Amino acid sequence: MEQLIANFPKQIEEAIEIGRTTKLNFNGKIFSNVVVSGLGGSGIGGSIVAEIVSGEASAPISVNKDYFLPAFVNENSLVIISSYSGNTEETVNAMQQAIEKKATVVSITSGGKVVEFSQKNNLPYILIPGGMPPRSCLGYSLTQLFFVLNAAGIISNRFEKELEKSVVLLNKEQTRIQKLALRVAKKLYKKIPVIYSATGFEGVTIRFRQQINENAKMLCWHNVIPEMNHNELVGWVDKNKKLGVVIFRNSTDYSRTQNRIENNKEVIAGCTSTIIELFSKGKSKLENSIYLIHLGDWISLYMAQLRNVDATEVNVIDRLKGALAKL
Judge contact between 240 and 270, C-beta under 8 A.
no
For residue 237, name the pLDDT band (cuts at 50, 70, 90). Answer: very high
Do 186 and 151 belong together in one domain? Answer: no
Whole-number Å distance between alpha carbons of 135 and 132: 8
Kindly report the average pLDDT of the chain as a whole number. Answer: 95
End-of-domain residue from the set 156, 189, 211: 156
- In the chain, the number of structural domains is 2
Residue 127 parent element (H or E) = strand 125-127
From the candidates 23, 230, 242, 326, give the one annotated as an active-site residue. Answer: 230
Pick the more confident residue, 259 or 317: 259
230 catalytically annotated:
yes
Which of 156, 186, 216 is a domain's end point?
Answer: 156
Q: Is residue 121 part of a domain?
A: yes
The CA distance from 325 to 108, in Å, is: 24
Looking at the fold, whether 297 and 152 belong to one and the same domain comes out as no
Verify whether residue 321 is a known catalytic residue. yes
Same domain for 272 and 199: yes
Same domain, 193 and 148: no
pLDDT tens-digit map of 8-45 = 999 999 999 999 999 899 999 999 999 999 999 889 99
- The residues, any chain, with a CB within 8 Å of residue 100's CB and separated by 6 or more, are none
- The answer to whether residues 190 and 152 belong to one domain is no
Task: Name the residue range of residue 89's domain.
Answer: 2-156
Residue 288 lies inside a defined structural domain of this protein: yes
Same domain, 49 and 187: no
What is the arithmetic mean of pLDDT over 149-154? 97
Has residue 315 been placed in a domain? no
Give yes or no: residues 144 and 195 share one domain: no
Query: Is-catalytic flag, 173?
Result: no
Active-site entry in 10, 120, 161, 321: 321
From the list 90, 162, 202, 214, the catalytic residue is 214
Same domain, 69 and 150: yes
Confidence of residue 198 (pLDDT cuts 50, 70, 90): very high
Range 164-173 average pLDDT? 98
CA-based nearest residue to 41, from 177, 169, 142, 186: 142
Residue 42: predicted pLDDT: 87
Residues 145 and 260 placed together within one structural domain of the fold = no
Q: Is the pLDDT of residue 133 over 90?
A: no
Could you tell me if 148 and 225 lie in one domain? no
Say yes or no: 146 and 200 in one domain: no
Q: Residue 44 belongs to a domain with what CATH number?
A: 3.40.50.10490
Element (H, E) at 34: strand 33-37
Residues 140 and 279 in one domain: no
